[in-house]
Structure 1
Amino acid sequence: MDDTAAPPRLQSWRNRLTVDHAGLQLRLGPDAHWYPYTRENGEWWPCAPCTPDPVAALTAAWDSRQSPGVA
């Protein structure tokens, strides 16, 4: 992510944080880890390994959008 840009606007609902305009979502699992997802063709798909750090999960999701096919 660009360090000079404003942070993404997150929508929260239940155990999910969504950056809708970017098609990114983090889901908090019962193990207290964040699971990154991307939206493709209207469905959410896991895109990177889970992590206890939500910033690391969001960064991994963002990076996966920049490099399709790499998770």
Structure 2
Amino acid sequence: MKAKIIVPFLFLILAPLLVEAQCAMCRAVLESGEGQDIAEGVNSGIKYLMLFPYLVIGGLLFFIYRKYRHSS
């Protein structure tokens, strides 16, 4: 019973450490003078990943607007 509680708790505590390490690695690659193609690829990937939350929120707002417009 305790293992069912402890294992997820440890995962939640240790997971941010792994994410932070990845960010430092990306920062090191981008700050180095070499590999401008890599830096452009990382920046394009960030833009690509940020596009979808805005599309989802925009789509939801559009459908909500359309629903209330037809109701009135």
- TM-score with structure 1 setting the length: 0.23
Structure number with the bigger relative contact order (C-alpha 8 A, sep ≥ 6) is 1
Highest Rg: 1 or 2? 2
Higher helix share: 2
Higher strand share: 1
